[in-house]
Copies of this chain bind each other. A is one copy, B any other.
Amino acid sequence: MIPTDLIKGSIKTIVLKLLKEEGPMHGYAITRKVEELTEGKIKLTYGALYPILHKLEKDGSLVTASENFNNRIRIYYALTPKGHTVVADKIKELNEFIESLQRIVDTKPGLSHA
């Protein structure tokens, strides 16, 4: 399990990216998918996930549609056109972040003080 502090800031981007690739999803399915993709290394908590989804809905990045499945309410979240713009930006940011981290972890013992 990757510690929560490391993951914190990227949850929103992860959620948006999944909705982009998988199409409309409900909250529970999002947590399952993240666990599946990361082999259990990233687990979203509902206390983090739902506030993020609600916020994205409020700001117009997502729209919701309720569905009844086996007497359980499922609320599907789908990207709006605005959401598609937002996710594109966020993924770009995340890629730059990943690249920067890699440059740092790939740094080999400095010749600078050899």
Contact = CB atoms under 8 A, between A and B. Distances in A.
A94 B105 contact: yes
Nearest to A112: B22
A98 B38 CA distance: 11
A107 B25 CA distance: 15
Contact of A100 (B4, B42, B97): B42
Interface residues of A, number: 40
A85 interface: no
Interface of A: 2-10, 13-14, 17-18, 21-23, 34, 37-38, 41-42, 91, 93-98, 100-105, 107-110, 112-113
Closest 6 CB pairs of A and B: A5-B9, A38-B100, A6-B9, A22-B110, A6-B97, A21-B107
17 contacts: A2-B96, A4-B9, A5-B9, A6-B9, A8-B8, A21-B109, A21-B110, A23-B110, A34-B104, A37-B107, A38-B104, A42-B100, A94-B101, A95-B105, A98-B98, A98-B101, A98-B105
